[in-house]
Amino acid sequence: MRPPYWNPPIELSEAEQVIISGIKKAKLFIFLRHNRHHLFNEEFQTTLATMFKDSTVGQCPVPPALLALALILQAYTGVSDDEVIEALVMDRRWQLVLDCHDCQKPPFSKGTLVNFRQAMIEFEVDQKLIERTVEIAKQQGGFGSSNLKAALDSSPLWGAAKVEDTYNLLGHASRSQRFDGYKRHVLKDLEIGVVRSVGLTSANIPEAQVTEAMDADLKAQNVKLVELHIDRAYLPSHWVKQRSEDLTIFCKAWPVRNGDRFTKTDFVLDWERSLISCPNNVTIPFEQGKTVHFPASECHVCPISERCTTSAKGRSVSIHPDEAFMQELRQRQDTELGRAKLRERSRVEHTLAHLGQWQGDRARYLGARKNLFDLRRVAVIHNLHVIARMPAPAFSQQVS
């Protein structure tokens, strides 16, 4: 048979009120006790139950909602599987949330927890947990738009300890430091404040490759990306290359430098006729993605050549494959409004820092998929904190 639904009490008992009064930090325990029935409503518990056909979880039927909540608490407290089982009988905060007060025997075994985690991974239920928190945040905050304004960024996640598993996971955290492991990517909703999607890539894979998987997550949420804030590492992504007219990209353009001489921005590009004109009004054709070379004969007699080039072959200018878009980015960042929009990306940087506090700087597991699971559940924790700060009666308990 399938695992049963979980229907813990809603009203606080006197014993629970005493426990809550003693919790001074880690107030997510209090929030989850008050709102576990909202997070794991009947509809979502039905979704969890679809992972199982005619089998049970472990040696006895255990409600999937109970196990999912335990995995959230595990990420929040940073404990091991063994410590989860210990906390079930030793920590009154865990007992408060999981409705197992003063239990002498844990309600499930370590093996049951491990098997359930693997089932969540297999059926992509970890992403559904993120979607559930997004749904609650939209309801509580009164957000109904299907248009999404988001910011995307990444941070390094060091690999697990085994050297042989990190042989081909070498990447660059910066130009001066190499690291082995992964990059964690976070897409934050700039209007609601929740994390919409996360991704994990090997450290030696370009950041831009993560966006197709994230796009699938957004399609499951029935939202349309209309504004995206990124850094230059994501410019080769499919979101940028295949963007529609409805999507506005905010990103700092690649810098254009040429010492104290004319830069590419001093040249005029006629997009209708595909012509480029130099500061001395010499005009030649250009193609995007190629380098144009002005005639050396023109450059040699140019009255302002010393401000342009010292090459005997004349001035050359490289045209980006998406040069029109690069121009758009440069023009936008030259305005006060454009610079203000660029600063909005800092909000996802703050979210990455928060997720790092719960997940840590080193991967918990071996293998990308398990660590993606870990990243998704800390994204759930972040979203629960966002929901808790919303001024709604059902989610009025503040957490920290």
Does residue 27 sit in the same domain as residue 115? yes
Cβ–Cβ < 8 Å for 232, 252: yes
pLDDT for position 143: 85
Does residue 83 sit in the same domain as residue 48? yes
Cβ–Cβ < 8 Å for 3, 57: yes
pLDDT for position 237: 96
Does residue 208 sit in the same domain as residue 348? yes
- Structure tokens that stand for 24 in this block: 């001074």
Does residue 285 sit in the same domain as residue 353? no
Asked whether the predicted pLDDT for residue 202 surpasses 70, the reply is yes
pLDDT for position 24: 92
User: What is the spatial distance between Cα 247 and Cα 239, in angstroms, rounded to a whole number?
Assistant: 9
pLDDT for position 179: 52
Cβ–Cβ < 8 Å for 108, 41: no
Per-residue burial over 201-225, b if 16 or more Cβ lie within 10 Å, else e, is bbbeeebbbbbebbbebbeebebeb
Q: What is the pLDDT of residues 126-170, one digit of tens each?
A: 999 999 999 999 998 888 889 999 999 999 999 875 444 444 444
Task: Determine the angle formed by the axes of helices 125-141 and 110-122, rounding to 10 degrees.
Answer: 80
Residue 236 is given by DSSP the state T
Does residue 167 sit in the same domain as residue 270? no
Does residue 70 sit in the same domain as residue 189? no
Long-range contacts of 39-44 (CB under 8 A, 24+ apart): 39/69, 39/132, 39/133, 39/136, 39/384, 40/6, 40/65, 40/68, 40/69, 42/5, 44/128, 44/132
The reported pTM is 0.89
Q: How many domains does the chain have?
A: 3
Q: Which residue bears the tokens 């007060």?
A: 101
Cβ–Cβ < 8 Å for 50, 123: yes
Among 94, 123, 152, give the residue marking a domain's end: 123
Asked whether the predicted pLDDT for residue 60 surpasses 90, the reply is no
pLDDT confidence of 50, banded at 50, 70, 90? Answer: confident
Q: What is the pLDDT of residues 362-376, one digit of tens each?
A: 999 999 999 999 999
Does residue 198 sit in the same domain as residue 240? yes
pLDDT for position 148: 96
Asked whether the predicted pLDDT for residue 226 surpasses 70, the reply is yes
Does residue 86 sit in the same domain as residue 194? no
Does residue 161 sit in the same domain as residue 309? no
Q: Assess if residue 326 is contained within a domain.
A: no
pLDDT for position 119: 93
At residue 3, the 3 state secondary structure works out as coil
Mean pLDDT of the chain: 90
Does residue 49 sit in the same domain as residue 62? yes
Does residue 189 sit in the same domain as residue 211? yes
Residue 271: count of CB within 10 angstroms of its CB:
11
Q: What is the pLDDT of residues 228-261, one digit of tens each?
A: 999 999 999 999 999 999 999 999 998 899 999 9
Nearest to 10 by CA among 35, 45, 42: 35
Query: What is the mean predicted confidence (pLDDT) over 187-204?
Result: 96
- Structure tokens that stand for 55 in this block: 């089998």
Q: Assess if residue 284 is contained within a domain.
A: yes
Q: What percent of the chain is predicted at pLDDT more than 90?
A: 82
What backbone phi and psi angles, to 5 degrees, belong to 180?
A: -110, 145
Q: Assess if residue 184 is contained within a domain.
A: yes
Asked whether the predicted pLDDT for residue 199 surpasses 60, the reply is yes
Whole domain around residue 101: which residue ranges? 14-123
pLDDT for position 136: 95
Does residue 153 sit in the same domain as residue 286? no
Q: Which residues contact 276 (CB under 8 A, 6 or more apart)?
A: 267, 268, 269, 270, 283, 284, 285, 286, 292, 317, 319
Of residues 309 and 393, more confidence is placed in 309
Q: What is the pLDDT of residues 278-316, one digit of tens each?
A: 999 999 999 999 999 999 999 999 999 999 999 999 999
Task: Determine the angle formed by the axes of helices 110-122 and 368-388, rounding to 10 degrees.
Answer: 90
User: What is the spatial distance between Cα 387 and Cα 134, in angstroms, rounded to a whole number?
Assistant: 9
Q: Assess if residue 7 is contained within a domain.
A: no
Q: Assess if residue 91 is contained within a domain.
A: yes
Q: Assess if residue 116 is contained within a domain.
A: yes
Q: What percent of the chain is predicted at pLDDT more than 70?
A: 90
Query: What is the mean predicted confidence (pLDDT) over 93-122?
Result: 95
Query: What is the mean predicted confidence (pLDDT) over 77-105?
Result: 96
